[in-house]
Amino acid sequence: MFPRVAQLFLSSVAIALVIGSPRAAHAATPALPQAATSTQSSQSLDPSRPANVGFSTVPKVYVLSLGAVPVYKSALPQQVGEDTPLDGTQFGGEVVGEFLWQVSGFRGKIPSWIGFYLGWLHVPATASVRQTGVLQYGLRIRHAYRASERVRPFWTYCLGATQVWVNGVPGRGITHQTRGGLGVDIQLVSRLRLMLSLEWLRQTLPTIGAEKDQSFSAVSLGVGLLFERFAK
Query: Of all residues in the chain, what percent carry a pLDDT higher than 90?
Result: 43
Q: Residue 54: CB partners within 8 Å, gap ≥ 6?
A: none
Mean of the per-residue pLDDT values of the chain: 79
- CA–CA dist 116, 61 (Å, integer): 11
- Same domain, yes or no: 117 and 161: yes
- CA–CA dist 159, 139 (Å, integer): 5
Q: What is the CA radius of gyration of the chain?
A: 32
- CA–CA dist 10, 29 (Å, integer): 27
pLDDT at residue 156 tops 60 = yes
pLDDT at residue 61 tops 50 = yes
Reported confidence tier of residue 58, pLDDT bands at 50, 70, 90 = confident
pLDDT at residue 39 tops 70 = no
- Same domain, yes or no: 12 and 119: no
Reported confidence tier of residue 183, pLDDT bands at 50, 70, 90 = very high
* Enclosing domain of residue 127: 60-229
What's the CATH code of the domain at 179? 2.40.160.20
Q: Residue 60: CB partners within 8 Å, gap ≥ 6?
A: 99, 100, 101, 102, 115, 228, 229
pTM for this one?
0.71
